[in-house]
Structure 1
Amino acid sequence: MPKPEIHPTWSKEAPVFCDGKPIGFVGSTKRELQVDVWLTKHPFYTNSQTLIDSEGRVERFMKKYGLKSIEN
């Protein structure tokens, strides 16, 4: 049995906001939730994702430690 008055109150329908716009409701110990990234704003789903160019990392490592390339 949980001890009384030591646990946070549980809200079954706490509103979720993204950029001030209501998105939905979730269960939470907070009265409302503010999120920065949501499905409609996530870079993966909006095709605004940028890829990091990692070409040359192995070559820099090999050069740094004076190792011969596997290909040679």
Structure 2
Amino acid sequence: MKKEIHPTANKHKIHCACGYEIEVLTTQPNDVQMEICSNCHPFYTGKQRFVDTAGRIDRFKKKYGAASASPK
């Protein structure tokens, strides 16, 4: 490898808002702050919820749910 063309990789910590912290090798100049990580993200934790805004889910089920049950 050519010398002096690669960035230096240093050990830095990544901090999440939930309190999770990990030490990684990175070329970033300092520690990294994150708002959300895989430990607290609803998609990865299974605590995902669907928000019914103004009855949209009910309207969808009425419109397409009944139509799929009785084929024409």
- TM-score, normalising length from structure 1? 0.51
Paired residue type of 2:2: P
Change (3 A) 1:25 1:39: same
Deviations 1:35-71 (CA, angstroms, capped at 9, x unpaired): 2212342113272x22364x46x95xxxxxxxxxxx2
Quote the offset at 1:10 in angstroms. 0.6
Q: 1:26 aligns with which of 13, 24, 29?
A: 24
Q: What TM-score do the two structures reach when normalised by structure 2?
A: 0.51
* Alignment size in residue pairs: 57
Q: % of aligned pairs identical?
A: 25
What do you get for the CA RMSD once the two structures are aligned? 3.2
Structure with the largest fraction of strand: 1
More helix by share: 2
